[in-house]
Amino acid sequence: MKVVYTDKAPAAIGPYSQAIILNDILFTSGQIPVDPATGELAGDTIQIQAEQVMKNLDAVLKEAGTSFENAVKTTCFLADMGDFAQFNEIYAKYFVNKPARSCVAVKTLPKNVLCEVEVIAAIEK
């Protein structure tokens, strides 16, 4: 098992890792729309926040030696299912291979963000 860390994505805000590699499979923790350069939330719209989440995931995926193309499963959390269509527009630009996915609305997300995404991806050899 290997812990993945990059300063190009927000540091964990609790007792967990950004991601773990086990047997050539990457398991990311949920990424929220925090700009790692400032530590501040990125914008107040679902589009801006979803873009920042994808940038954060991209940094973690790259640090682990993989990419969006190798994603096999995602779990997406939305604060408001009314944002589903707008979130999907951003999501589809990054997950072009259409991995398996769950997308649920939750009562509250950390820092009251609008979305959070976690990924399971294969590691390229």
Instruction: Tell me 1's DSSP state.
Output: -
3-state secondary structure of 105: strand
* Identified catalytic residue from 21, 25, 103, 123: 103
Q: Which of 78, 66, 52 lies closest to 119 in space, CA to CA?
A: 66
Mention every residue, 6+ apart, whose C-beta is less than 8 A from residue 79: 105, 106, 108, 109, 112, 113, 114, 115
Query: Which residue type, as a one-letter code, is found at position 54?
Result: M
Residue 103 is a catalytic residue = yes
Contact 61, 121 (CB under 8 A): yes
Q: Which residues are catalytic?
A: 103
